[in-house]
Amino acid sequence: MQKANSISAIILLAVMTGCGGNRQINETDGFITIDVSKSYPKKELILQDFLDVEYIPLETTDDFLSTGYIQAIGKEIIVDRTLIPPNPATEILLFSRAGKSLKKIDRRGQGPEEYISIVSEVVLDEESNEIYVNSLTAAEGKIYVYDLFGNFKRILTAKEGHRYTVIKNFDHDHFICYYGVHYYALRSPDADIEYEKNIFWIISKQDGSVTKEIEIPYQERKPIVQFNIPVNGRMVAVSVNNVNLTPYLDSWILVETSSDTIYRYLPDYRMTPFMVRTPSIQSMDPEIFLVPCVLTDSYWFMQFIKKDGANGEFPRTDLVYDIKERTLFETVVYNDDFTSKRPVRMWYENRVTTLINSEDIVFTEKLEAFELVEAYKEGKLKGKLKEIAAELDEEDNAVIMIAKNKN
């Protein structure tokens, strides 16, 4: 491991040396170096200028009451995970690609073929006609596999003592996973808890066995978590619901917050540097983390997230890297189908914005029906979104905005 850390340090030094002044990209190696301590000029963007936008109203029936918590969008199917009080008890709703209700799957229970609840996510594999339920509340880390009618097929069991926070399709036979249980387990900085140094794994879709552990070198663990923060009269640990696995074209971007290098992981198992941050995360107090968000073929959106001392707060700065101009800006993105300036969330947000690993879809955003009805009455909509809102009732299911790379 000492050798790996030395190699990482050499890579970082080479990048920092080669990217002086205002240069933001190392043209030879194809990755960018970002100074998280700097301020950047502001730039406003219009979503429709660089992504195609589609709106899908989810059909509302007595049996299909959705919270619009989109899990996956395939060529023919939309997977929605609907929360039923008391949380986190969950149903799975399948809609057609046009938003028509198809099938409700509810396999909650105590039986061997049932999940207790879905704390993490549901993954769709249309090629295999399977859905995978990642149930973190099981006594062991388990992924329950069902067909698209809800029939049980098998269970994938994680390595003993492990649970996966995130699972995503890697190829026909494998998932790429983020192992984040240690972030949940750590409740104080002095906790005597063993955890894996490697947090990204490739596992089998057939039995859950580990095909490959992905090693990212770093010196000392720097998780995005604040310890011993007073909340409602008790001391707790506060963390950020950031994304460590970000889809980008045919690959995945891996974020180990303890490392100065963010990597791109390719389908042939090669890992190459994607972004390098400076100053080193190991030297900062309080730390400022660099987290990639929505990644398109024109712009890379990201956030600086600051660990703000004893207050347990994480101030965020939204930025964008313009690939063509090779320049970094602080940014806000607006949806042009609103006549008022309505910002678009260009980062993952639980139950609102979902990053999609698809050939063309980049991300989705939930638009609540009651908000659209109000905006329509106030004359704040135009185009296709205005037409959809004219037919909505305030209590209807959400409209899902799908943002896609332009053809």
Q: Are 281 and 220 in contact (CB under 8 A)?
A: no
pLDDT of residue 360: 86
Q: CA nearest 93: which of 83, 300, 289?
A: 83
Task: Give helix 369-377 / helix 383-390 axis angle, nearest 10°.
Answer: 100
- Three-class DSSP category at 48: helix
Q: What are the Cα distances from residue 146, in Å, to 20, 134, 198?
A: 53, 12, 29
Distance CA 18, CA 149 (A): 55
Q: What residues contact residue 204 under an 8 Å CB cut-off, 6+ apart?
A: 156, 173, 174, 210, 211
Lookup result for tokens 């004219």: 390
Pair of tokens at residue 407:
């053809």
Q: At 38, which amino acid appears?
A: K
Pair of tokens at residue 225:
């978590």
Residue count (the chain): 407
Please calculate the CA angle 356-362-368 and round it to the nearest 5 degrees: 80
Q: What residues contact residue 51 under an 8 Å CB cut-off, 6+ apart?
A: 296, 362, 403, 404, 405, 406
Q: What are the Cα distances from residue 65, in Å, to 28, 104, 148, 378, 382?
A: 52, 10, 19, 26, 27
Distance CA 24, CA 323 (A): 10
CATH class of domain segment(s) 66-215: mainly beta
Task: Give the Cβ contact number of residue 130 at 10 Å.
Answer: 16
Q: What residues contact residue 18 under an 8 Å CB cut-off, 6+ apart?
A: 26, 28
DSSP-derived pairing of the beta strands 142-147 and 130-135: antiparallel
> Can you give the pLDDT of all 407 residues of the chain as single tens digits?
333 443 343 333 333 333 333 334 444 357 899 999 999 999 999 999 999 999 999 999 988 888 888 999 999 999 998 876 655 568 899 999 999 999 999 998 888 899 887 867 899 999 999 999 988 655 568 899 999 999 999 999 887 777 788 899 999 999 999 886 544 444 444 554 455 688 899 999 999 999 999 999 999 988 876 655 666 666 555 566 667 889 998 899 999 999 999 999 999 999 999 999 999 999 998 899 999 999 999 999 999 999 876 666 788 999 999 999 999 999 999 999 999 999 999 987 766 788 887 778 999 999 999 999 999 999 999 999 999 999 999 999 999 999 999 87
Please calculate the CA angle 47-289-279 and round it to the nearest 5 degrees: 115
* CA R_g for the chain: 22
Q: Where are the domains of the chain?
A: 33-63+233-407, 66-215
pLDDT of residue 319: 97
Task: Encode burial over 312-324: b for 16+ CB neighbours within 10 A, e otherwise.
Answer: bebeeebbbbbee
Task: Give the Cβ contact number of residue 266 at 10 Å.
Answer: 13
